[in-house]
Amino acid sequence: MQVRTRHTPSYGVARLMLAPGEPVRVESGSMLATSYGVTVESRAQGGFFKSLARSALGGESFYVSTYTAPQQGGWVDVAPTLPGDLNVLELDGRVGWCVTRGCWVASASTVQVETQWGGFQNLFGGEGGFLTRVSGHGSAVVACYGALDVVTLQPGECITIDTGHVVAYADTVQSQLRQMNQGVAQSLKSGEGLVFDFAGPGQVLTQTRNPRGLVGWLRANGLGPRS
């Protein structure tokens, strides 16, 4: 599979170029268009319980759609829900990536996608206690809300990032979740004030906009669900 992106960085679309008979896994609801003859099958990826974990705990859809190119090859266009940039992770079988909820869009059939426990405190932080982990060989497409920043950490170099701005980080990076301020009750309720400490070596992908801020704005203007 080859990936070609367009309309980045504001409204990114990824075109997944497929060889004859090649399948690709896509987050349910992310397909924009396909070339003629591409077939699709949606199923609970990895069985019922793994799919339930992805949906209820990892922030992804219960079903994963598998698109398969016809004998002449084909393509699938995918786009995320929120406006923003796209990034293609090229997996070499050695380093996997942890992707935060809602950011995984698609990956080659040779890439393993699983739900991974991200820490007990994460569950109360409003970001979801589970992460989507991608590993293996091939390309994986992740999306962000706003623009994408890539932070490359040297061995022992540290950085602190708000939980709502983290998109993904490499397995080589050490992470720790902690409270930034003193408002314990408010932090546990809304996720505000919780940050990740990362230590290198490795890369961390961040987004310039926080989806939590969008939800707050919608609620404040009577446009979204109220808790």
pTM of the model: 0.82
d(CA 187, CA 215): 16
Average pLDDT over residues 44-60: 47
Q: What percent of the chain has pLDDT over 90?
A: 62
Domain 2-213 has CATH 1.10.8.100: no
d(CA 189, CA 41): 38
Q: Element (H or E) spanning 185, and its range? A: helix 184-190
Closest listed residue to residue 12, CA positions, set 142, 150, 203: 142
d(CA 97, CA 95): 7
d(CA 38, CA 65): 12
Distance of CA 211 to the CA centre of its chain: 13
Contact call for residues 100 and 66 (beta carbons, < 8 A)? no
Average pLDDT over residues 198-214: 94
Query: pLDDT band at residue 204, thresholds of 50, 70 and 90?
Result: very high
pLDDT at 177: 83
Start-to-end C-alpha separation, the chain: 42
d(CA 3, CA 172): 25
Domain ranges (residues) in the chain: 2-213
Quickly count: other Cβ atoms within 10 Å of residue 217's Cβ.
Answer: 11
pLDDT beyond 80 at 120: no
Name the residue with higher pLDDT: 185 or 192: 192
Contact call for residues 34 and 98 (beta carbons, < 8 A)? no
